Chain A
Amino acid sequence: MQYLKQFKIKFSDFVGQENARLALLLNLIEPACGGVLLAGKKGTGKSTLLKAFKEIVKALNMPFIELPMNSTEEAVLGGIDIEETIKTGERRFQKGLLSKADGGFLIIEDINLFPHDLLSIVFEVQSRGENIVEREGITLRESANFQILATMNPEEADFSSHFLDRFGMCVIMDNIIDKEKRKEIIRLNFSRELQIAEDISLIEKIIKSKEFIKKIKVIDEITEFISEVVLKEAVLSHRADIFLLYASKAYAAYFGDNFVKKKHVITVAPLVLNHRKKLLHQQPEYEPEHQFDNSQSSERNDEEQKNKNQTPSRIDEDHEHGKSQNTPSSEKEDVFPVGESYKIRKFFFRKDRTLRQSTGRRTKTKTKGRAGRYVRSLLHKRNDIAIDATVRAAAAFQKIRGMKDLLIIKEEDLRYKEKEKRMSHTVVFVVDGSGSMGVEQRMIQTKGAILSLLMDCYQKRDKVSMILFRKDRAETILPPTSSHELALKRLREIPTGGKTPLSAGLMEAYRLIRRMAIKEPESRFLILLITDGKANVSLTGKTVFDELRSICFMLSNLTSVDFIVIDTEKKNKFMKIDFAVKIAEWLQAKYFLIEELKSESLLGIVKTFKI
C-alpha cells in the first residue's frame, strides 16, 4: 500500500525558492528577525516548505506550533482546564497555544482568511512577548516570545497592511519557469523512499551560527548604511530598520563573518523591505491597457483589440470637435473598455443589533449560529453553552449542594456565549451611463474603479447587483448575484451615451432594496452611486433638484442600508457643479472623488503579483 506514506521533502532538497528558504533560516538563527510571511499563489509550495522546515525546527528542540483556523480564543490564550477544575475543585488553568509557542515558531496558514480579531490578539501578545489573560476571574501571565511564520494567497482575501508591517520578512513565492527545475520538483514528489535522514549538516551549521551571532559586531557605518537603504526605498515604518539590522547580522553569522558588511545588507534588504514599500509614483491616470497582460484568453485579446480600435476613433472625434464636449448628443453611444484596477481603500460601517446567520468578511455582526468569536457570556439562552462561565457560576454552590466527586450543575448556572462574526453585504452599484461620463475617456477610469470595487466585493464575499441609468430610464442590468464573473461581463458591456436620469437610478435602487429586504430580512445593503452628478431628467413634473431631494429622503429612511457616493466629475475644471456632494449630504453617505478610491496604505502585495 503506497497510500498515505508520510511524504517528506528534506529542506535542503527543496527546489528553487531560495529567498524563502533563506528567510526561514535567518529567522532560525536570530529570533529578532521578526518572522516570515510567504505570499504566493496556490500550489507554489508554501505549505510544503513549512513542513520541511518543521523537521529542522524539531531537531533543534524548538516549539513549532500550528494555529488552526478553527481555534477559539480560549485555546489561543489559555483558559480554565475544566477536567482538572472539576476533579480538584480548584480553578486550574491550561496553557494556550501562544504560551506553547514560547521560544519557537507559531505557524499560521492562510493568514488572510483568519478572523481579524483572532489575529489582533496574536499580534498583540507577540509584541508584548508575554501572554496576559484577564477574563472573568482568570489572571494569567506567561512568557510568549515567538516568531510567526505565515502563508497567504493574495487572490483569496485582503491582508491588512497594519499586520503586514509586523512581519520581519515577506517573500513572494512565484512560479518557477525553468523547465529543468520543474521536472526536478515533479521527481521529488514521486520519490518513494522515506526520507528519514535529517539535514544533519544544515542543522549543525544553524547551531554554530546561533552561537556565532553573539560575537558579531555592527560598526556605525553599517547602521548608517541600513538607514540609508531604508529611506531610499521610501519605507516609513521604523520596524524596517530594526528588522534589517538583525537580518543582516544573521546573514553574516550564517557565512561566518565577524563583521556585518554592506553586501550582507544588500542581499537581505529585499526580504525585509519588499512588503513595506510605498507606491512611489502614481500610475498614469488613464491606461486603456489593463493589467491582465500575458495571462489572458484569446477572446479577451480580441475584445481589447476591438476596444483599442474603437478608442482612437473616439479620440480623433474629440479632436475634431475641439475639447468642449459638455453636451454630447444623446444619439452617440460608446462602449468603453475597462480601465486599470487597483486596491480599494477600506470602508467601515457601524455594527447594528440584528442577530444573523451570517457569512462573509465585511462588517461585524452578532450571530445567531455557533460560528464566530466568543465575546462574552450571557444568561440569555443562545446556541452555545459557555462552559467556563457555567462552571464558575456553579463552583460557588458545590458545598451547599453536597458535591461528592462530580460537579453539580443546575439550570440557573447555565451561561451562554454571545458571538460576533463578520458578514457580507449586498452591494448595489448604481452607475451613470450618460454621455457626459464619456467625456475625455472618464468612463474607462470609472469602469476601472468599478472593477476594483468588484474585486473588493469578491474578497469580502459580497453579493453584487448593478443598475444602469441613461437616456430616459434606469434598469437593473444585473440582479443580485454572487457570481462576480457575470458582474464583470455586464461591466464590460455598459454603454455610454444619452441624458442623465439620476433620480430614476436611485428610484430603481429603492425598489430593488425593498424587494430584497422582504426576501432576505437579515441582509445589509450598500448602495454605491457612481455619477458625475449632472442630473438633467426628472421623472415627475417636479424640478430635478426637488425630485432628487425627496428620493434621497426616502432612501435614507431605509434601515440597514449604507451609502457611498463616488463623484466622477473632473474638479479642476472651470465648470464644476458638485451636485454629487449635495446628494451625498442628503443620503448621509460617505463621499469620495474617484481618484480617492485607491488604497493609500502600503503597496499591496497584490500589486506585485499582477493579479
Chain B
Amino acid sequence: MIFPFTAIVDQDEMKLALILNVIDPNIGGVLIMGEKGTAKSTAVRALADLLPEIDVVKGCRFNCAPEGPFCSDCIEKLNKNGSIEIEKKKMRVVELPLGVTEDRVVGTLDIEYAIKKGEKRFEPGILAEANRNFLYIDEVNLLEDHIVDLLLDSAAMGVNTVEREGISFIHPAKFILVGTMNPEEGELRPQLLDRFGLCVQVNSLTDKNLRIEVLKRKAEFDDNPEEFFKKWDSEQQILVRKIIKAKENLKNIKIDDSALSFVVDITCQLNLDGHRADIVMLKAARAFAAFNGKNGITQEDIKAVAPFTLRHRLKRLPFEDISQEVDKLNAILETI
C-alpha cells in the first residue's frame, strides 16, 4: 500500500510539477531538491496510482509505441507479419537503485543462456523497463559517475544502443526522469541537471497546524492503510479524471506568438545555455493551462511555471551555488 498522492499535505509546487509531467511526458521529468523527510520519495511513489494507461505493442519487452520507434524485436516482428497487435498497459514508476552496475542499466548478453543453450539472447536492463515510464532515482546526486554518463548517453538520443559481448541491440529508451536529492550531500553535474525538465525545492513545513495534519494523516494511514485509501479514493479519482481531461485538451491549446515572445524575453535576459529552457517552459505552461481547463496560454501561466523550469538552468560555473541566481530570476519575473 502506498500513501495516496492527494493526501500529501501542502508541497503544492512538487505535486504540480509531477502532475504536469503526467499530462505531458515530453516535459522531461522533475528534480526534487530538499532536505530529508520532506515527502520527496513518498510523492514520487504515490504518483504510480495516478498514471494513465498507454498503448503498447503486445508482448514487447520494451513497451514500444504502436507508431514506433521500435526495438530490434518489434522490427523483426513487423518484417515477418507485416503488422503488430496492440494492448493497453498502465504506466509505471521504475526505480534505479544507487549501487546498480553498468550491465544492469543498459542490458547485456544473457551469459548463462549462451553457455547452456549456445544461443545469444539479450537480457534487458533498467533502461528497457523505463521506456515510456517514469525512471525514478532516489538521491540522484550520489549516483556513480559512469552510470550518469550512460544515462546521459541514452537520454540524448532517446534510444539505448547496446554493443557488448557480441550482442547488438537497439531499443527505444525514452523515460521521464524523476530524481530526488539533498543538496547538502553534494551537487549534480550541470549536464545531468539540464536533462531534468523541471526542478522544485521542497522545505519542511513551518506552520504548526500543517505539521499536526501531516502527523495525523500518517498515523491514520499506518493504522489502517485500506481504510485510509478508501477515505481518499474520491479525491484521487477527481484528480485522475482531471489529468485525463487535461491530456485530451493538450493538443487543442494554441501556441501564439505572444506566448513565444514572452518566453524568449525571459530566457534572453538570463543568458542561459541552449534552448531546452525555452522549450520546456512553453510545454510546462501549456500543460498548466490544460490542467486548468483553458484553451490558450496566458502570461500568468508562463509566470507560474517559470520558477521551476528555470531554477536549475541558471548560469553558473560547474561548482557554484544556485541560490544567488534565484533572486535574479525572481526580480526578472517581477519586472516583466
User: A-side interface residues toward B, CB under 8 Å?
Assistant: 1-6, 40-45, 47, 51, 66-72, 74-76, 79-83, 86-87, 94, 97, 109-110, 113, 153, 155-156, 175-177, 179, 182-183, 185-187, 189-190, 192, 292, 294-300, 359-361, 369-371, 385, 387, 390, 405-407, 409, 454-455, 458, 461, 481-485, 487-489, 611
Contacts and interface: CB of A to CB of B under 8 A. Distances in A.
Interface string B148-159: 011011101100
A406 B163 contact: no
Contacts of B251: 2, 192
B166 A80 contact: yes
B282 A190 contact: yes
B165 A75 contact: yes
A359 B163 CA distance: 21
B67 interface: yes
Nearest to B193: A42
Given A3-B26, A4-B172, A83-B120, A186 B261 contact: no
Contact of B264 (A3, A94, A182): A182
A405 to B, nearest CB: 8
Contacts of A80: 166
Contacts of A489: 321
A4 B317 contact: no
Contacts of B168: 75
17 contacts: A2-B26, A4-B69, A42-B274, A68-B162, A69-B153, A74-B166, A75-B167, A80-B166, A83-B114, A83-B118, A156-B190, A182-B267, A187-B260, A300-B324, A454-B319, A484-B318, A487-B319
A153 B117 CA distance: 44
Given A42-B190, A292-B317, A454-B319, A75 B166 contact: yes
Which has the most chain B C-beta neighbours within 10 Å: A40, A110, A297? A297
Interface stretch (B76-84, B98-106, B209-217): B98-106
B12 interface: no
A483 B282 contact: no
Given A4-B174, A370-B101, A406-B118, A79 B166 contact: yes
Nearest to B281: A186
Given A47-B156, A183-B257, A455-B318, A72 B186 contact: no
Nearest to A156: B191
B275 interface: yes
B325 A297 contact: yes
B264 A183 contact: yes
B103 A370 contact: yes
B36 interface: no
B55 interface: yes
Contacts of A390: 115
Contacts of A45: 274-275
B161 A68 contact: yes
B165 A3 contact: no
Contact of B275 (A43, A179, A294): A43
Interface in B247-282: 250-251, 255, 257, 260-261, 263-265, 267-268, 271-279, 282
A336 to B, nearest CB: 19
A70 B264 contact: no
Interface residues of B, number: 81
B150 A69 contact: yes
Interface string B56-89: 0000000001011100000000000000000000
B334 interface: no
A482 B186 contact: yes
B66 to A, nearest CB: 9
Nearest to A611: B317
A508 to B, nearest CB: 24
Nearest to A409: B115
Contact of A189 (B149, B156, B279): B279
B282 A43 contact: no
A44 B273 contact: yes
Interface in B174-210: 174, 186-187, 189-191, 194
A295 to B, nearest CB: 4
Nearest to A488: B319
A74 B163 CA distance: 9
Contacts of A177: 268
Given A2-B250, A175-B271, A370-B103, 13 more contacts: A4-B132, A4-B174, A40-B274, A44-B275, A47-B156, A70-B102, A83-B166, A94-B166, A175-B272, A182-B267, A183-B257, A298-B324, A407-B118
Contact of B114 (A2, A75, A82, A482): A82
B21 to A, nearest CB: 12
A257 to B, nearest CB: 35
B164 interface: yes
B319 A371 contact: no
Which has the most chain B C-beta neighbours within 10 Å: A43, A292, A359? A43
Contacts of A4: 25, 65, 67, 69, 132, 172, 174
Contacts of B318: 155, 455, 458, 484, 611
Given A179-B268, A187-B255, A387-B111, A6 B274 contact: no
A40 B165 CA distance: 33
Contacts of B317: 292, 488, 611
Contacts of A481: 186
B144 A359 contact: yes
A144 to B, nearest CB: 15
Given A3-B26, A176-B275, A485 B320 contact: yes
Contacts of A487: 319
Given A42-B190, A371-B102, A611-B317, A72 B328 contact: no
